[in-house]
């Protein structure tokens, strides 16, 4: 059986300051040249990533050491002590760890028979848990308090305190259930939106409609607590935005930001949701043509998100950082600064490349999908093709139903621009088979296939320009029933650029200036 690499992965995840702290910690608890310190340094010196870690190398390096005969036990002991050092390292900054320490201390005092001291310690934990809106820790504190109350005096003497303790527990359980119910609805929404994308709200009786019909989302009064209310408003903002009701989405977003306010405590309690709502507002204002306001939300994100996400897992940090930068692409486009998007997309690609192991699977293909459009807009078709091939080869591609059709049709346009007529003929047939197998072709898809098939047979410049004009006119009729079919490329602008003999980017810029 292959040895587990949990210890290696844990050591790789440590920052330089965390490693330095562990070495100081081990210096206080072990000898300078202890077995655990040697093993830590040896594993730390190997290349980052579990694939490069070889336990055989460790066994060879320490073949003369006694501990090597009990290497699994030694590794487990080292693993646990690294976690102990991290608990101490973060104890001063993390409210959760401070609460854990207070509750653990209260439990120790309880076991020592020092019940009054235990109750005092628990009172501090309860006050802190209430202050920072930590219901789970508050519940732990209440239950620990009950144990001490029951043995500190006779039940008759503490009956009032004991009954109050049970009432507090019931209130916390009700609060946790209310918040949990809203979080469940939120996750259902995200799962549906991730799979369907812009089509998520288009089908009658879709998941969004079912969610909004839930009694918890029909009436704001049902959201009884701060975190529940934030999720209620966030969900309404998100669903209205995705289904095209920008005005309602904007109103819900503003109400959510007003609820959170300028309170740092509120922002910390709902840090993830606060950043998401800023991102939604950035996208909504951009879509409504208010680029200046959109830029303001982006500036708030850049100012606040790193501080608020300091204690979040790297995967969450990367996801939200990528989402904010994608908003910057829209702002640049609205301001006609499409060339600046090359710098932003390179930053996005760099983040996903460095953190691919700490990313959600669809983050990578979404970045590739955006890269396809940015490079296409700048006539960098080889780069665009590179990223579309990465999408086709990704395991996550099948999970993203919303981009499967778009990617296949954009792929045809890229090969057309590159003059790869042999490849284009093959991809036209394979894409046609895919779409026929998946569903009946809509008017938009038939139009694209008809244009590309006919375009391969045209050699005369005037005839080709006539074909572009004819296709554009047909497209404008179809676009009413299939808006935003390609999501990231304006096919009407692309056709117009061919008719006017201008670049696609120049055509898009002119349209933005005029409208």
Do 354 and 502 fall into the same domain? yes
Tokens of 458: 């045209």
Q: Dump the DSSP string for 431-479.
A: HHHHHHHHS---HHHHHHHHHHHHHHH---HHHHHHHHHHHHHHHHHHT
What does the alpha-carbon distance between residue 344 and residue 325 come to, in Å, rounded to a whole number?
Answer: 7
State which of 83-97, 310-324, 375-389, 418-432 shows the largest mean pLDDT.
375-389
| Phi, psi at 488, each rounded to 5° | -120, -10
In the prediction, which pLDDT does 2 show? 44
Do 455 and 344 fall into the same domain? yes
State which of 370-374, 429-433, 463-467 shows the largest mean pLDDT.
370-374
Do 296 and 355 fall into the same domain? no
Higher-scoring residue by pLDDT: 195, 365 = 365
Do 289 and 405 fall into the same domain? no
Q: How confident is the model at residue 92 (pLDDT cuts 50, 70, 90)?
A: low
Higher-scoring residue by pLDDT: 195, 367 = 367
pLDDT tens-digit readout, 438-477: 666 677 777 887 887 787 777 777 888 888 888 888 887 7
Tokens of 289: 């043509």
Please state the domain count of the chain. Answer: 3
Collect all residues with Cβ–Cβ distance below 8 Å to 360 and sequence separation of at least 6: 315, 319
Distances (CA, A) of 341 to 220, 279, 281, 332, 490: 40, 18, 20, 7, 16
Domain boundary among 40, 65, 90: 90
In the prediction, which pLDDT does 204 show? 64
Residue 14 in any domain: the answer is yes
pLDDT, mean over the chain: 84
Q: Dump the DSSP string for 22-86.
A: HHHHHHHHS-TT-HHHHHHHHHHHSPSSGGG--HHHHHHHTTTSGGGGGHHHHHHHHHHHHHHHH
What does the alpha-carbon distance between residue 150 and residue 302 come to, in Å, rounded to a whole number?
Answer: 51
Residue 97 in any domain: the answer is no
What does the alpha-carbon distance between residue 354 and residue 357 come to, in Å, rounded to a whole number?
Answer: 8
Q: What is the dihedral angle through the alpha carbons of 230, 233, 238, 239, rounded to the nearest 10 degrees?
A: 140
Do 298 and 352 fall into the same domain? no
Do 356 and 455 fall into the same domain? yes
The pLDDT of residue 357 is above 70: no
Residue 116 in any domain: the answer is no
What does the alpha-carbon distance between residue 134 and residue 174 come to, in Å, rounded to a whole number?
Answer: 14
Residue 400 in any domain: the answer is yes
Q: Dump the DSSP string for 7-37.
A: HHHHHHH--HHHHHHHHHHHHHHS-TT-HHH
Residue 434 in any domain: the answer is yes
Collect all residues with Cβ–Cβ distance below 8 Å to 356 and sequence separation of at least 6: 364
In the prediction, which pLDDT does 480 show? 60
The pLDDT of residue 162 is above 60: yes
Q: What is the dihedral angle through the alpha carbons of 199, 200, 202, 204, rounded to the nearest 10 degrees?
A: 140
Lowest mean pLDDT among 219-223, 387-391, 475-479: 475-479
Do 378 and 504 fall into the same domain? yes
pLDDT tens-digit readout, 111-120: 999 999 999 9
**Mean pLDDT calculated for residue range 8-26:** 85
**Mean pLDDT calculated for residue range 394-416:** 79
Residue 261 in any domain: the answer is yes
Residue 463 in any domain: the answer is yes
Do 508 and 359 fall into the same domain? yes
pLDDT tens-digit readout, 171-183: 999 999 999 999 9
pLDDT tens-digit readout, 32-73: 567 778 888 888 887 655 445 677 777 777 777 777 778 888
In the prediction, which pLDDT does 359 show? 61
Nearest to 472 by CA among 501, 451, 446, 445: 451
Do 259 and 362 fall into the same domain? no
Residue 319 in any domain: the answer is no
**Mean pLDDT calculated for residue range 481-493:** 64
Do 246 and 366 fall into the same domain? no
Give, as one character, the DSSP assignment of residue 290: -
**Mean pLDDT calculated for residue range 219-230:** 95
What does the alpha-carbon distance between residue 309 and residue 304 come to, in Å, rounded to a whole number?
Answer: 9
In the prediction, which pLDDT does 46 show? 76
The pLDDT of residue 166 is above 80: yes
Do 50 and 180 fall into the same domain? no
What does the alpha-carbon distance between residue 273 and residue 308 come to, in Å, rounded to a whole number?
Answer: 11
Domain boundary among 56, 90, 124: 90
In the prediction, which pLDDT does 330 show? 80
Residue pair 325/340 in contact (Cβ under 8 Å)? The answer is no
The domain in which residue 289 lies consists of: 175-193+202-304
Q: DSSP strand E in 80-203: where?
A: none
Do 273 and 343 fall into the same domain? no
In the prediction, which pLDDT does 262 show? 92
Q: How confident is the model at residue 1 (pLDDT cuts 50, 70, 90)?
A: very low
In the prediction, which pLDDT does 136 show? 92
Lowest mean pLDDT among 65-74, 226-235, 266-275: 65-74
**Mean pLDDT calculated for residue range 320-338:** 82
In the prediction, which pLDDT does 119 show? 94
Domain boundary among 90, 114, 149: 90
Residue pair 413/407 in contact (Cβ under 8 Å)? The answer is no
Q: Dump the DSSP string for 294-345.
A: HHHHHHHHHHHHHHHTTTS-HHHHHHHHHHHHHHHHHHHHHTT-TTHHHHHH
pLDDT tens-digit readout, 272-323: 999 999 999 998 998 888 888 998 999 999 889 888 887 777 778 888 888 8
Q: How confident is the model at residue 514 (pLDDT cuts 50, 70, 90)?
A: low
Other CB atoms closer than 10 Å to residue 2's CB: what's the count? 5
What does the alpha-carbon distance between residue 102 and residue 129 come to, in Å, rounded to a whole number?
Answer: 11
Collect all residues with Cβ–Cβ distance below 8 Å to 428 and sequence separation of at least 6: 412, 449, 452, 453
- Percent of the chain beyond pLDDT 70? 89
Higher-scoring residue by pLDDT: 223, 41 = 223
Higher-scoring residue by pLDDT: 260, 242 = 260
Higher-scoring residue by pLDDT: 29, 480 = 29
């Amino acid at each position: 059986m292959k040895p587990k690499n949990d210890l290696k992965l844990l050591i790789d995840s440590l920052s330089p300051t965390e490693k330095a702290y562990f070495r100081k910690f081990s210096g206080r608890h072990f000898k300078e040249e202890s077995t655990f310190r040697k093993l830590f340094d040896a594993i730390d010196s190997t290349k980052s990533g579990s694939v490069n870690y070889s336990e055989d190398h460790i066994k060879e390096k320490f073949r003369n050491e006694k501990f090597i005969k009990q290497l699994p036990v030694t590794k487990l002991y080292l693993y646990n002590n690294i976690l102990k050092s991290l608990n101490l390292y973060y104890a001063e900054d993390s409210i959760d760890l401070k609460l854990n320490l207070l509750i653990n201390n209260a439990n120790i005092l309880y076991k020592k028979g020092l019940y009054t001291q235990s109750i005092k310690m628990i009172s501090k934990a309860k006050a802190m848990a209430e202050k920072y809106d930590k219901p789970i820790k508050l519940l732990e504190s209440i239950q620990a308090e009950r144990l001490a109350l029951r043995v500190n005096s006779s039940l008759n003497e503490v009956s009032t305190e004991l009954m109050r303790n049970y009432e507090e527990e019931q209130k916390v359980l009700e609060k946790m259930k209310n918040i949990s119910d809203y979080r469940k609805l939120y996750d259902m929404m995200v799962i549906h939106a991730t799979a369907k994308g812009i089509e998520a709200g288009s089908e009658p009786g879709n998941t969004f409609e079912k969610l909004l019909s839930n009694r918890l989302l029909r009436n704001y009064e049902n959201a009884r607590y701060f975190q529940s209310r934030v999720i209620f408003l966030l969900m309404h903002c998100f669903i209205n935005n995705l289904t095209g009701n920008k005005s309602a989405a904007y109103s819900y977003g503003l109400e959510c930001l007003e609820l959170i306010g300028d309170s740092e405590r509120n922002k910390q309690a709902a840090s993830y949701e606060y950043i998401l709502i800023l991102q939604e507002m950035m996208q909504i204002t951009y879509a409504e043509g208010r680029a200046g306001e959109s830029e303001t939300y982006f500036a708030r994100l850049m100012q606040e998100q790193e501080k608020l996400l300091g204690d979040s897992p790297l995967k969450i940090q990367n996801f939200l950082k990528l989402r904010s930068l994608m908003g910057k692409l829209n702002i640049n486009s609205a301001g006609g600064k499409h060339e600046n998007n090359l710098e932003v997309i390179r930053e996005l690609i760099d983040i996903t490349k460095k953190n691919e192991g700490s990313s959600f699977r669809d983050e990578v293909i979404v970045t590739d999908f955006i890269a396809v459009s940015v490079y296409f807009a700048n006539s960098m078709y080889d780069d665009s093709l590179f990223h579309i091939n990465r999408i086709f080869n990704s395991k996550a591609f099948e999970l993203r139903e919303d981009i499967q059709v778009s990617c296949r049709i954009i792929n045809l346009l890229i090969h057309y621009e590159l003059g790869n007529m042999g490849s284009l003929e093959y991809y036209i047939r394979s894409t046609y088979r895919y779409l026929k197998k998946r569903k009946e072709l809509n008017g938009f898809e038939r139009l694209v296939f008809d244009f590309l098939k006919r375009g391969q047979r045209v050699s005369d410049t005037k005839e080709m320009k006539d074909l572009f004009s004819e296709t554009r006119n047909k497209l404008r009729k179809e676009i009413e029933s299939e808006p935003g079919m390609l999501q990231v490329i304006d096919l009407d602008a692309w056709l117009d650029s061919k008719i006017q003999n201008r670049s696609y980017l120049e055509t898009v810029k002119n349209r933005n200036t005029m409208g």
